[in-house]
Structure 1
């Protein structure tokens, strides 16, 4: 080819001409956070901007082009998308380069495309300086002559060609190879999404001034989609209450729906269109679930859908999420075109999701299908009633508890149990009992399926435990016994997946054992409940177990350990109380014991006042007796009395279980003796610090000092970690941890974990 006589323009790296780039539109929203990335990106061979229609790809590239921060002259080519033909494309490229001042030969013919590409590469190589080529709406099919020709240019002009591609899908330019060598810069849908500042700037162009919260709401509703924001702004111009409009704005807005249907949905082939519509009921989709909903034929299009539709964004592990507003449009079209199919699709999705362990998603689809009966069966069968009641870190969909069903299936107990749990969450005790009575009647008719009966009885017991735990400890203990009976009929492996049930049962059982004087069993149950509550992510149960353990230690006279446990129970992230609960009274009593151990009867009486205020609304005979005992001890301390005579008088009036009193007497004797020595007459007046805590029969230090590693193991033992968890955290083998534990037990003169932790607290080793 003959070389052109047009001279090349001499432009420096920061003063390059914008060449054939279109002029800047007046409505453009400045986005320096992204143009800066493009400035850096064009220092390499390939920059790709991929996003759906209306994402602002072209506007961003224009803003960047007009910054004049280019490595060389810029040639801008507006392509015809999928309709692009080689006979048109290459003349356009060469014409744009020549217009930008790049000295390349005119094409004689485009029929011998490889020769044309080779000649163009030779011309650019002779130039030796960078040239920026922008291909807007570049959508050739993989393996097409255009795709292969552009790939060839990139391959043969690594130091000269700086290619910028704007497309709705990944261009077929061997991006994976470029990623491996860090030679490709990518801006995708998530990058192109407007942030709050840019959204506010766009609204300001339309004269709209709304609060920051409204801006954020609009940006979230549109997923930051530029076209959606612009359409919303145009509609808001005509509204007297733009803030209210934002709360209602969605993909079913007429302007948005028309735009997306015309620009995206109507452009799809039949199979792809069916796939988009049927999977629109999902919040996220993968290939297997797409086939389940759409059938094998439509499902075959899934790979192409992921590759070609930038409205679908990866969320990890083969799952994809559809752009919110596009999903709204698809669901609207599905309702209009196939109204009878919607509920069926939700049920099919729920069945697949339930089989694959995605319970919350399955329940959400059953609720969307209006199938409360199947939702109840699924939740009770999976022992997930605790997730409805909020006993776990993970919750089932909020839609579940927003309203009770108007009518329940009459033949199965599970929907009635689910309704009872929802009523419990809504604090509707009458409805809760009504549904429980209904479930009992339906459950009596189940005789053949023992496993199903056990699951239903367990669900009922969990609801009752949660309902009665704060109101009626005695009835709660009866419900806990029912739960243990049902649990004994179920596989242990199933229960291990539901620690919230174990946590609630053990917490209630431990509290009951403490009230009947079984201190050792109570310690074992509460410690187990504490660990299970941690596994379930139930802060309230964990807090209450810690407080009950603190009371247990106080009754034994181990006031330092009681103080530490009480402090743990009130430290974030454990929750504070929102309403009065018995555990609050329990905490006040522990603190009262601790203040008496510090010889602070005034502070102890203050805590007793708090305990009595709670017990006034939530009577508890056991805690009331402890409060009376502590009040009597406070009186003795104030009067300067000493043991044992005053103790005998105080204890004689108590109706606490004998086993509790046996533990209390030596603790009280030591406490009063310590308080007498710390009385104001004996203590220096200038001492401001609070007295140290009394510990009954303070143990001697271990004969052998613990090693640093043994202390590490002991600290984790106190956190209720298993041997395996300690090994993992300390990067040790399980056998090594067991060896350290044996050494710790020997040095502390104990034989089990709980005793080691208790003795370590007494020795202040933790």
Structure 2
């Protein structure tokens, strides 16, 4: 009989394109690079054949001979008949080629036959490509030996692509070492998100972006799973199909049972079910959950056979299971092994706790539903979770522990309150029942919870002299002590505590603690008058918060408040506005004091011209007043009250609202008593009213009688009003001395704002000091620049001031203007001085010019010619 056996057409035909098939760009590109031997290897369901067929149909080339192998090809005659038939179909094989002959070939697979086949191929001007699909079906020794010889002896430009589930025994290792083998495996065959979307939308065009995202996540790019998902979710009349698609969907379950799990033995299936509670699962944990020391090896073997378990990590210490397979196996575990999932979750929680992974431990403790396990994990891991910003697993574990456990353990109750307030929730309304002789760990937890406002403060607290050594609880203790030091105005004591807290944060990954420590360091530096350190710490806090996902936390808002106040002092209202609004963007429950401070700073930035328009400045005063009204009777730190009062009082005076200014003064005295700040407000009020002697007395009281000011900037402002009063009285030496003192005090604070809003006489003094020796001279240039470029907001003039201004263009003296308006000359002088201040001028002539420019003085009517 002739050598060539009959070959079914289907065996040598390139598979037809599947409807809605997706062109696999990355796979095509990899196959295009095959110039010798290509191996497309992956388990069932990865679309090997379709991907290679798509490449054959779409890529330019010399033609392709396609052979689909099966078990019958163990007969060399059948195998090589199919190869020759496929080669003869290629259009690049000329009719005269021996490859088209059906007779006269030596015995199939023997050396003579392979030599004749090789010679026939060598005679071609350009050989075709050869694809052997399902090459893993070959098991016969003769067929494998012949194919191995053919691969070795063929002409080098004849590309061969082998496609199958496993690597065939064809001596490919030699090609791999020689870098002649190009491999395409499951990872490349998985659909990219873009390809997955194209496939899903091709079959189910009504799927929305969110639904496509869900299916992409559940299938992880597994080709057959995507096709099953497209089929299952293609019916537009079933809107819940997407969320119902899982490993237990009938289509998926049938495929897994028939094509994947049928090849696994019972011990492998049991191991997969047990380790499925964690994904990916560390090899050590897999051994614990399965009770098998060789769990890692079993998972590797299953992965090689199915492609649905993948080793990950540098040392392949993790194994990730396909989401749909995991769904299917977990469903079986819950149905057929009652109680097993909870026990496995508890074992997982304890393993992660021992491995130093408190977040994973807490998460699995919550999943176990076991209150005892959750309590056990929280005792050790709770503080670390809190300080690391892992508040979700912490809260879930606390919920699992339950109210009964929390009531028995005051430390856990304090921890729960800290977690709730850290997430923006309300503080506890009742204090835990503390033991009379608590451990140092419990005492540190209590101090932190009370100082951070998570639980009510109780009078019987006794902080230990020595803090505990456990990093999480120690860090909380350090934070509590630093907060106490800042509250009692001892920033020097806070610095070393915060430095150690930050060191612990960096060493143990306590990202939330890092933001807290840096924000508190910024507050302490502000209290200590170190503007540069405050700015550095505040900016570092915001940067850490941004990197760690804590941008909207209350501590980040606190850092923003410190920076906004510093920007306001530097006469940078636009930057202050940006920071204050970023702080107010905090999504949780902002403490009232923090909200009030941010609202005040935002309003003051408007007053200072952040928006540029006068209407914005008026709105700023409105906002200042509204913030104080909203605050009501809520308790307020005296320093925050002083900042708010100084800003609102000055804005009210500048905008011509003396009654509003007096209201602010009364509010401050009621809040904090008589202080240097309240005396400063009195001095401003008296000066604006033209009562210089009273203003001078109030300034003296602020410096001498009221003790240490609450705010460092207060003395700067007092010295400036002293300088103004002295200059107005012609006392040049005292005026210069007061201004030099103001400059020296303002420089470390970077406080330029007081100079930007100072009386015009201050500018004239600054001109004299600019370039002089010492701190005053070096800072005077910056103060002079800001006083020249930062226009104090021009206030609306009162009706009497407008009347005085209208008469200034005339040749009338001040006495004559007073007579004309029926007021004393001193009253006229007071009005003139107020006009000068509001218009930012220093002489009658420039006041007249400014009045005309701003439309405050009506131009003289034009003369009407006589007719």
Alpha carbons of structure 1 residues 557 and 22: separation in structure 2 relative to 1, 3 Å: closer
1:257 is displaced (CA, Å) by 1.1
Partner of 2:38: 47
C-alpha distance in 1, partners of 2:286/2:512? 40
**1:138 has 2:171 as partner:** no
Shift of residue 572, structure 1, vs aligned partner? 7.8
Partner of 1:87: 74
Q: Deviations over 1:353-407 (max 9, x none)?
A: 43333443343333333223223323422x44341x3x32556648826955557
Partner of 2:330: 331
Q: CA deviation at 1:609?
A: 7.1
Alpha-carbon spacing, 1:626–1:284, altered in 2? closer, same or farther (3 Å): same
The residue correspondences of 1:149-228 to structure 2 (distance < 5 A) are 150=147, 153-157=150-154, 159-169=156-166, 182-228=179-225
- What's the secondary structure of 2:344's corresponding residue? helix
Aligned partner of 1:516 among 488, 505, 513: 488
2:376 pairs with 1:377: yes
Check 1:555–1:360 CA distance in 2 against 1; reply closer, same or farther (3 A cut).
Answer: closer
Kept after mapping to 2: 8 A contact 1:154/1:161: no
Counterparts of 1:91-110 in structure 2, within 5 Å, are 91-92=78-79, 94-101=81-88
Alpha-carbon distance in 1 for matches of 2:743, 2:457: 33
Gapped regions of structure 1 (runs ≥ 5): 7-17, 447-452, 701-766
Task: Sort the Cα spacing of 1:663 and 1:420 in 2 relative to 1 into closer, same or farther, 3 A.
Answer: closer
Kindly indicate whether structure 1 or structure 2 has the higher relative contact order, using CA contacts under 8 Å at least 6 residues apart: 1
Contact 1:51–1:311 (8 Å) recurs in 2: no
**Equivalent-residue separation in structure 2 for 1:255 and 1:408 (angstroms):** 45
SS of 1:262's equivalent in the other structure is: helix
Alignment of 1:511-550 (within 5 A): 511-530=483-502, 532-533=504-505, 542=514, 545-546=517-518, 548-550=520-522
2:448 aligned to which of 451, 454, 465 = 465
Q: 1:339 to 1:661 in 2, by over 3 A?
A: closer
Is the 8 Å Cα contact of residues 557 and 695 (structure 1) preserved in structure 2? no
What does residue 67 of structure 2 align with?
Answer: 77
1:720 aligns with: none
**Preserved contact between residue 232 and residue 249 of structure 1 (Cα < 8 Å):** yes
Q: Distance in 1 between matches of 2:188 and 2:418?
A: 43
- For the residues of structure 2 that align with 1:476 and 1:225, how far apart are their CA atoms? 63
- Residues 165, 619 of structure 1: alpha-carbon distance in 2 compared, 3 angstrom cutoff: farther
* C-alpha distance in structure 2 between counterparts of 1:578 and 1:239, whole Å: 42
The answer on whether the counterparts of 2:43 and 2:306 sit within 8 Å (CA) in structure 1 is: yes
Deviations 1:327-353 (A, max 9, x none): 111222233343343333333444444
- Structure 1 counterpart of 2:636: 619
Alpha-carbon distance in 2 for matches of 1:559, 1:637: 26
Instruction: Give the CA deviation at 1:325.
Output: 0.8
Alignment of 1:654-693 (within 5 A): 669=719, 670-671=741-742, 679-682=758-761
Contact 2:45–2:222 under 8 Å retained in 1: yes
Within a 5 Å distance, the mapping from 1:703-718 to structure 2 comes to: none
Residues 530 and 541, structure 1, Cα contact 8 Å, conserved in 2 = yes
SS of 2:191's equivalent in the other structure is coil
SS in 2 for 1:339: coil
Corresponding residue for 1:729?
none
Aligned residue in 1 for 2:253: 257
- 1:33 equivalent in alignment to 2:37: no
8 Å CA contact 1:366, 1:375 repeated in 2: yes
SS in 1 for 2:163: strand
Quick one: distance in 2 between partners of 1:586 and 1:331? 51
For 1:432 and 1:116, how far apart are their aligned partners in 2? 92
Aligned counterpart, 2:840: none
After superposition, what is the alpha-carbon deviation per residue over 1:58-101, rounded to whole angstroms, capped at 9, x for unaligned? 2111111111523x442323344xxx476247733551343222
- SS state of the match for residue 224, structure 1? coil
Q: What is residue 356 of structure 1 aligned with on the other side? A: 355
Q: 1:624 to 1:114 in 2, by over 3 A?
A: farther
- For the residue of structure 2 that corresponds to 1:133, the secondary structure is strand
Aligned to 1:744: none
Partner Cα distance (1:410, 1:533) in 2: 27
Q: How many aligned residue pairs are there?
A: 646
Where does residue 293 of structure 1 map in the other structure?
Answer: 289
**Separation in 1 of the partners of 2:189 and 2:84?**
28
Question: What's the offset of the Cα at 1:614?
Answer: 6.9
What do residues 388-435 of structure 1 show as CA deviations (whole Å, max 9, x unaligned)? x3x32556648826955557569984876776666666777687968x
Residues 1:341 and 2:332 aligned together = no
Distance 1:676 1:162, change over 3 A: closer
Q: Which residue of 1 aligns with 2:301?
A: 304
**TM-score, normalization by structure 1:** 0.68
SS in 1 for 2:312: strand
> SS of the counterpart of 1:281?
coil
Report which stretch shifted further, 365-374 or 639-648. 639-648
CA gap 1:456/1:511 in 2 versus in 1, 3 angstroms: closer
Q: How far 1:225 moved relative to its partner?
A: 2.3
The structure number with the bigger radius of gyration is 2
Task: Measure how far apart 1:294 and its partner are.
Answer: 2.7
Deviation at 1:47, TM superposition (A): 2.5
Question: Which 10-residue stretch deviates more, 248-257 or 672-681?
Answer: 672-681
Q: Could you tell me how far 1:290 is from its partner in structure 2?
A: 3.3
Q: Does the 8 Å contact 2:64/2:129 carry over to 1? A: yes
Cα distance in 2 between the residues matched to 1:75 and 1:596: 75
Partner of 2:48: 57
State the Cα distance separating 1:644 from its structure 2 match. Answer: 9.8
How far apart are residue 256 of structure 1 and its match?
Answer: 0.9
State the alpha-carbon separation in 2 of the partners of residues 239 and 592 from structure 1. Answer: 58
Q: Secondary structure at the match of 1:76?
A: strand
Give, in whole Å, the separation in 2 of the partners of 1:292 and 1:546: 41
The answer on whether the counterparts of 1:350 and 1:363 sit within 8 Å (CA) in structure 2 is: yes
In 1, distance between residues paired with 2:166 and 2:395? 36
- Contact 1:29 1:198 (C-alpha < 8 Å) held by counterparts: no
SS at match of 2:188: helix
Which residue of structure 2 aligns with residue 709 of structure 1?
A: none
1:265 CA displacement:
0.5
- Change in 2 beyond 3 A, CA 1:558/1:336: closer
Please tell me whether the aligned partners of residues 544 and 569 of structure 1 are also in contact (alpha carbons under 8 angstroms).
yes
- Cα displacement (A) at 1:148: 6.7
The verdict on how the C-alpha distance between 1:376 and 1:118 changes in structure 2, with shifts beyond 3 A counting, is farther
Q: Which position in structure 2 is the counterpart of 1:22?
A: 14
CA contact (8 A) 1:625 1:656 kept: no
State the alpha-carbon separation in 2 of the partners of residues 260 and 427 from structure 1. Answer: 45
- Deviation of 1:469 after TM superposition, in Å, equals 1.5
1:377–1:415 Cα contact (<8 Å) kept:
no
Show CA shifts across 1:579-605 (max 9, x none): 69766665565455545999x996499
Q: 1:588 to 1:213 in 2, by over 3 A?
A: same
